[in-house]
């Protein structure tokens, strides 16, 4: 993958994520600042999503742990545990905030 493809795929992911959390604007604040997308919840905790361009990865930090995801012919896959990014974030948002946002529905 080259940098252009990485940016296109990461942009698509950021767009999808922001569209999915938009209906929860009373419970989830989100902000994109450069390559960082932050989700902030009522308890002021955050999930921070960051593009790592040199590695062509998306890094996710929750209040419980951090994960690195690489694009694998379709989904972004956790390079440590093998899970898929949207499923991971669905679970992480619920665990951290109690909010059920299904990111995997089309």
Can you tell me the mean pLDDT for 21-36?
91
Superfamily of 3-97 according to CATH: Frataxin/CyaY (3.30.920.10)
Angle between the 3-21 and 85-97 helix axes, to the nearest 10 degrees? 40
Cα–Cα dist 91/87, whole Å: 6
Cα–Cα dist 97/79, whole Å: 25
Strand runs (DSSP E) across 10-92, as ranges?
28-33, 36-41, 46-52, 57-61, 66-71, 76-78
Can you tell me the mean pLDDT for 84-89?
94
Asked if residue 79 has pLDDT above 70, the reply is yes
Asked if residue 102 has pLDDT above 90, the reply is no
Asked if residue 106 has pLDDT above 80, the reply is no
Residue 51 has, within 13 A of its CA and on its CB side, a CA count of: 20
> What are the extents of the domains in the chain?
3-97
């Amino acid at each position: 993958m080259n940098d252009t493809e990485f940016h296109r795929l990461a942009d698509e992911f950021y767009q999808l994520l922001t569209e999915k959390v938009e209906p929860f604007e009373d419970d989830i604040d989100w902000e994109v600042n450069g390559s960082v997308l932050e989700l902030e919840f009522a308890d002021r905790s955050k999930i921070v999503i960051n593009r790592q361009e040199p590695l062509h990865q998306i890094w996710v930090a929750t209040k419980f742990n951090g994960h690195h995801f690489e694009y694998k012919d379709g989904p972004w896959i956790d390079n440590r545990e093998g899970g898929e990014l949207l499923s991971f974030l669905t679970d992480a948002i619920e665990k951290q905030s109690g909010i059920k946002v299904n990111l995997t529905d089309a």
